[in-house]
Chain A
Amino acid sequence: MKYLDEYRDPKLAAQLSRQIHKITTKPWVIMEVCGGQTHSIVKFGIDTLLPDKIELVHGPGCPVCVTPLEMIDRALAIAARQDVIFCSFGDMLRVPGTETDLLSIKAQGGDVRIVYSPLDAVKIAMDNPKKEVVFFAVGFETTAPANAMAVYQAKEQGLKNFSLLVSHVLVPPAMEAILSSKNNRVQGFLAAGHVCTVMGYREYPPIAAKYKVPIVVTGFEPLDILQGVAMCVQQLEDGRHEVENQYARSVKEQGNIPAQDLISKVFCITARKWRGIGEIPQSGFSLSPEYKDYDAEVKFNLGNIKTQESPECISGLILQGVKKPHECPAFGTKCTPEHPLGATMVSSEGACAAYYRYKRIP
């Protein structure tokens, strides 16, 4: 595939690896924010090509992992209803709530459907006027344009049986929360390339300046990540803290304006709770007043949901890059993809699942 396969060239990867080895003179801690990047790093073994002095820590870039337990329980309560067709991306199906998960609800007769695009859920609503169709809108800014369009189209068509259960979270506030935490060890960031494709990177210079960290907007293929690391390390070695764009073939400084326009029409920024981290102000989207009729939380008034986190799960510390999965006592023993204690093990983007699948010594 063009613009994909070329970025997996082993010779060029080896070259970048040698370059990074050459320029690294001190130990550095670099965080990649996006779950897609975590997945790539572990799947291709990119971290094994880096010098020991470079430590890659994995950030909360997995929206499935940071969706609060209450929200998952809310989704499960809605999905269990007889009059509901519950649509979701595949990632969410095995995430355990306090008592059950979407896959079990499906097995017990709930109408739970995997869709590729939120527009597919709108079509299901059009084809099933007697049912309530709910789409579980979990994601970062990358998915916001698609979700915005789904709600916009639903309203244009006058659909009354479609709604969104929104759990959108934003990357820059999460980065700030990590940098401002007293446990913080992160010295440089690889920013999420597809989030920035949508939003641009104008929000990053103030963060780079305030916390004195270099931020490199990075893609997802091995050569992208290696080049992003190289650029970040070079800045750290030089004592610079600027914003650079490695993924310029997709990302422009201003991002995608038509997408941002529709997002700001359909969504507004609110505080959001991040599982394992806590509430971060101005860190998520919810539907704007104009589109409140399409808000599943309003439509299905579920009141307060009592949740129960596993006391052994340390997802929060993993998501902040403070601990690594194999440092968790339950990793690989009590907690595996077959019986996960928390979301970082179920979601394939979660650091724990990625480590389990690709790194665990057989």
Chain B
Amino acid sequence: MCLAIPGKIESITGANGDVMNIKGKVNFGGTLKEVSLAYVPQAQVGDYVIVHVGFALSIVDQEEAMKTFEYLKEMGELEELKS
């Protein structure tokens, strides 16, 4: 029940009206799809959102995303030190 994928918001329409009608054109690696942004009304053009069946469910937290890789990088450096 969980196929949701990340894409970048390229444009937003309806931001000044009813929040239920806010839509965005989202770019998934070159494929564009119109997506409802009703559940992430604070999203801006340029944000990455996680989309499931036509609805953005969250805005990708880029800082947190970096943390995974920093943690792995540290682990890698520790491994090198030990070896």
Contact = CB atoms under 8 A, between A and B. Distances in A.
B55 to A, nearest CB: 5
A142 B72 contact: no
A312 interface: no
B52 A118 contact: no
Given A2-B8, A143-B52, A227-B68, A248 B61 contact: yes
Nearest to A16: B72
B2 A34 contact: yes
B20 A152 contact: yes
Contacts of A31: none
Contacts of B2: 34-37, 61, 140, 142, 192-195, 220
A139 B52 CA distance: 12
Contacts of A220: 2
B68 A250 contact: no
Interface string A94-125: 00000000000000000000001111100000
A143 B20 contact: no
Interface stretch (A76-84, A251-259, A324-332): A251-259
Contacts of B48: 2-3
Interface in A129-166: 139-140, 142-143, 145-146, 149, 152-153, 156
Interface of A: 1-4, 6-7, 12, 15-16, 18-19, 34-37, 61-63, 89, 116-120, 139-140, 142-143, 145-146, 149, 152-153, 156, 192-195, 197-198, 220, 223-224, 227, 248-252, 256, 258-259, 262, 349
Interface centre among B29, B36, B62, B72 (most CB of A within 10 A): B72
Contacts of A142: 1-2, 4, 52, 57
Given A1-B29, A2-B8, A18-B79, 10 more contacts: A2-B48, A3-B60, A3-B65, A35-B1, A118-B53, A119-B54, A142-B52, A149-B38, A249-B68, A250-B61
Nearest to B38: A149
B77 to A, nearest CB: 11
Contacts of A37: 2
Chain A facing B: main interface SS: helix
B57 A194 contact: yes
Contacts of B45: none
B36 A119 contact: yes
B46 interface: no
A259 B20 CA distance: 11
Nearest to B3: A36
Nearest to B42: A258
Contacts of A18: 79
Contacts of A197: 4, 50, 57-58
Interface centre among A3, A6, A7, A61 (most CB of B within 10 A): A3
B6 A2 contact: yes
B32 interface: no
Nearest to A37: B2
A143 B39 contact: no
